[in-house]
Amino acid sequence: MSIANVTFEPGCRNNWHRHNATAGGGQILLATAGRGWYQAEGDEPVSLTPGTVIVIPAGTKHCHGAKADSWFSHVAIAVPGENTSNEWLEPVADDYYDALHPEPGSKSAG
């Protein structure tokens, strides 16, 4: 089992990616500090604060990282499975991610 403590500086995020497996697998995120985002392709973004737990099924295209105005840390747990692999995909576009970080007083996600 792989467990990592990951810290993102404000506005930093990883590329879209998948944790593939033929059985089992996936990822669990445990938010520990700061404020961040989790986004599964096709779903609404989820705001992450300390104590938030995200269970990501194998094969789900997703990304995660810090909000624009906050450092963010999480523990990432690779769920054991058969034939597991990570598939790193395209970067999350700046305009897309920036839309998750509205200016103060605006009405948008966040």
Q: Which amino acid is at 26?
A: G
Name all domains of the chain by residue range, CATH numbers in brackets. 2-82 (2.60.120.10)
The span from the CA of 57 to the CA of 82, in Å, is 13
CA atoms within 13 A on the CB side of 27: 24
pLDDT in tens, the chain (110 residues): 899 999 999 999 999 999 999 999 999 999 999 999 999 999 989 999 999 999 999 999 999 999 999 999 999 999 999 999 999 999 999 888 888 854 443 333 33
| pTM score | 0.88
**Is the alpha carbon torsion for 43, 45, 51, 54 positive or negative?**
positive
